[in-house]
Amino acid sequence: MNKKDTIGIFDSGIGGVSIWEEIHQLLPNESTIYLADSKNAPYGNKSQDEIISLSIKNIEKLIELGAKIIVVACNTATTNAIETLRSKFSLPIIGVEPAIKPAILQTKTNNIGVLATRGTLSSTLFSETTSQFSNEVEITEVIGEGLVTLIEEGSLNSLKLKTLLKKYLEPMLSKNIDYLVLGCSHYPYLIPLLKELLPQNIKIIHSGEAVAKQTKYVLEKNHLLSEKKENTFLFYSNFQIETLKNILADYRNKVIISKLDF
């Protein structure tokens, strides 16, 4: 590993691009390689063994492509596989978890909502994090069944997506939540729609900024921060690349998007 190597990022599909954006904003001098494992999306309905196996495959490919650090830009992969991954690989590995702690510390109604995948909500790590910080706060957890698939299809403005979201928000709204925690890296792409559906007093939070700060901290600690001015931003999908192109439209002049078997 050296400073000239890249930040390697993977997710079960396009969702982790929301994490990439935060990392790129904070660390513009860093080259990045992003793997969208869309062929196997969503991870949320898979067994822990499957999630670990897919995560190992993704990291091995990123190392082969020159990664100096790995960002697991997937809540389900983090909560189910991070300990195994850190024991197997020697390079630094950053995970992403639902932003439960800030929501619990800032809630005024003592009620928060968490929208996440089945794989995240059922994980030991999520359970431990929740019990560690919850105290007097009631947490309404809702599985966002079907949301990742619709986002992967590029159906962000579909009636089906809007109908599903309304259904998932109902139990949270009935509990008078004032914070909605997005527990899947795909879900920040729902924020415009969520703002339409939610009362203005409900704050929406996700983990992107915290992951970017942690990535910077670990790179500094390991003396791996890049000093380059010429950088590359590579995005690979093992399925179709149209949705990836659409969500990266604002960066079209600086990113390279390709299909890759992995």
Separation CA 86–CA 238 (nearest Å): 24
Looking at 74, 143, 147, 161, which residue is catalytic?
74
Looking at 93, 94, 184, 255, which residue is catalytic?
184
Separation CA 53–CA 47 (nearest Å): 10
Closest CA to 36 of 225, 191, 258: 258
Separation CA 115–CA 169 (nearest Å): 9
Separation CA 131–CA 51 (nearest Å): 24
Q: Which residues of 4-23 are buried (b: 16+ CB within 10 A; e: fewer)?
A: ebbbbbbbbbbbbbbbbbbb
DSSP H helical segments within 35-90, as ranges? Answer: 48-64, 75-88
Longest dimension (CA), the chain: 52
Separation CA 222–CA 164 (nearest Å): 44
Separation CA 248–CA 259 (nearest Å): 15
Cα four-point dihedral sign 217, 219, 221, 223? negative
Separation CA 68–CA 156 (nearest Å): 34
Q: Is 184 among the catalytic positions?
A: yes
Which residues are identified as catalytic? Answer: 74, 184
